[in-house]
């Protein structure tokens, strides 16, 4: 990694860096006010979690902005669906204004599938790279649910890749867990900063949580793991696990009870945008209504952002 990334260095410690997946404190998942969200981020920061993973569409920059006023040292990784230069510049403007800081540690092309989708976002990628050269952006990369997405990050010389990885390979749509492990290993060898996400498979692995977390902690090609945390108990549990300590039984109990579920409220007009948006096939349209298929859902919240009537929540 270049010296322009003071807060995103390859890992030097035994376990990957614990990174706060802030989708859990966005309006898409929990109805926290910005002050409540910031309080949770600051609680985590006090326990050593100093890297925040967000996105343009999470709509939680206000909470991050409040947290940054007290902890300007926090690193912010964000993501955007921009595909052209204008969209890229707007995403940067929105992030800067939103978090109240000019410097952004990393900007990722959100939810890339393969080389083809990256080529479709080439103008945005070029704009981000120019900003990086100016010193106002620390790193450029992509996030993906697909092995082909990781390979594209390597092929196009990105700085960062953020990908789904979990003990059962849940949420992977173009290969096995082993395929993803190999792809991420190659990415690390190529010098990318590698972030794992969805280590609990969007909640499906909650009953085997200790096993799932230990599996992820044992992956020596991960520099960081983004974990969604929506309560102090979840923060305490994860801090203990990442520190190699036995979590407080009460924190473990409370946080394991916080399994997330996809809710579609009444009022669906059957437009089908959520189903079209979901790459996991976890929403089907039946009799003009959207219906969730819980066993396929990885609780990424993408469908929530697609619903014009804001009927979908991961709670
Ligand atoms: S249904 Fe929604 S939350 Fe679940 S996997 Fe699909 S897009 Fe993600
Ligand atoms: S996007 Fe919203 S309104 Fe459209 S089908 Fe899905 S839930 Fe219904």
Q: What domain range includes position 192? A: 17-256
Q: Does the C-beta of 282 come closer than 6 Å to ligand 1? A: yes
- Do 252 and 266 reside in the same domain of the chain? no
Angle of helix 85-99 relative to helix 122-134, nearest 10 degrees? Answer: 50
Ligand 1 mean position to 83 CA, how many Å? 22
pLDDT in tens, 186-203: 999 999 999 999 998 877
- Do 144 and 286 reside in the same domain of the chain? no
- Do 39 and 167 reside in the same domain of the chain? yes
Torsion, CA 21, CA 23, CA 26, CA 28, rounded to 10: -170
Residue with tokens 């910031």: 38
Nearest one of 212, 211, 217, 209 to 234, comparing CA atoms: 209
- Residue 193: inside a domain: yes
Of 231, 256, 281, the domain-final residue: 256
CB 162 within 8 Å of CB 108: yes
- Do 237 and 285 reside in the same domain of the chain? no
pLDDT in tens, 29-47: 767 889 999 999 999 999 9
Q: Quote the pTM value.
A: 0.87
Query: Helix count (H) and strand count (E) of the chain?
Result: 12, 12
- Do 233 and 172 reside in the same domain of the chain? yes
Q: What angle do CA 166, 170, 193 make, to 5 degrees?
A: 45
Q: What is the domain-level CATH number for residue 179?
A: 3.20.20.100
Q: Does the C-beta of 28 come closer than 6 Å to ligand 1? A: no
- Do 41 and 125 reside in the same domain of the chain? yes
Q: How far apart are CA 207 and CA 69, in angstroms?
A: 37
- Residue 10: inside a domain: no
- Do 295 and 250 reside in the same domain of the chain? no
- Residue 217: inside a domain: yes
Count of structural domains within the chain: 2
- Residue 5: inside a domain: no
pLDDT in tens, 136-186: 899 999 999 999 999 999 999 999 999 999 999 988 889 999 999 999 999
The helix (run of H) or strand (run of E) holding residue 141 is strand 140-144
Q: How far apart are CA 48 and CA 28, in angstroms?
A: 25
Ligand 2 mean position to 302 CA, how many Å? 12
């Amino acid at each position: 990694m270049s010296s322009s990334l003071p807060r995103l260095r390859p890992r030097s410690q035994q376990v990957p860096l614990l990174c706060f997946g802030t989708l859990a404190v966005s309006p898409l998942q929990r109805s926290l006010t910005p002050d409540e969200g910031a309080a949770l981020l600051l609680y985590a920061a006090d326990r050593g979690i100093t890297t925040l993973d967000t996105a343009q569409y999470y709509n939680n920059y206000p909470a991050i902005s409040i947290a940054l006023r007290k902890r300007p040292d926090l690193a912010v990784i964000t993501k955007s669906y921009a595909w052209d230069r204008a969209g890229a510049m707007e995403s940067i403007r929105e992030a800067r204004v939103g978090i109240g800081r000019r410097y952004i540690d990393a900007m990722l092309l959100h939810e890339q599938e393969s080389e083809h989708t990256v080529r479709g976002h080439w103008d945005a990628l070029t704009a981000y790279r120019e900003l990086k050269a100016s010193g106002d952006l620390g790193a450029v990369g992509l996030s993906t649910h697909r092995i082909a997405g990781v390979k594209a990050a390597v092929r196009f010389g990105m700085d960062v890749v953020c990908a789904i990885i979990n003990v059962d390979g849940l949420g992977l749509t173009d290969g096995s867990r082993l395929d993803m492990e190999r792809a991420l290993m190659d990415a690390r060898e190529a010098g990318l900063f590698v972030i794992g996400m969805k280590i609990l498979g969007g909640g499906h692995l909650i009953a085997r949580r200790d096993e799932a977390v230990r599996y992820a902690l044992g992956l020596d090609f991960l520099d960081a793991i983004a974990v969604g945390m929506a309560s102090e108990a979840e923060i305490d549990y994860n801090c203990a696990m990442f520190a190699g300590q036995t979590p407080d039984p009460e924190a473990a109990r409370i946080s394991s009870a916080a399994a997330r579920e996809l809710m579609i409220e009444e009022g669906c007009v059957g437009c089908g945008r959520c189903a079209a948006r979901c790459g996991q096939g976890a929403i089907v349209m039946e009799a003009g209504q959207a219906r969730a298929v819980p066993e396929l859902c990885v609780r990424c919240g993408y469908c929530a952002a697609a619903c014009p009537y804001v009927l979908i929540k991961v709670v």
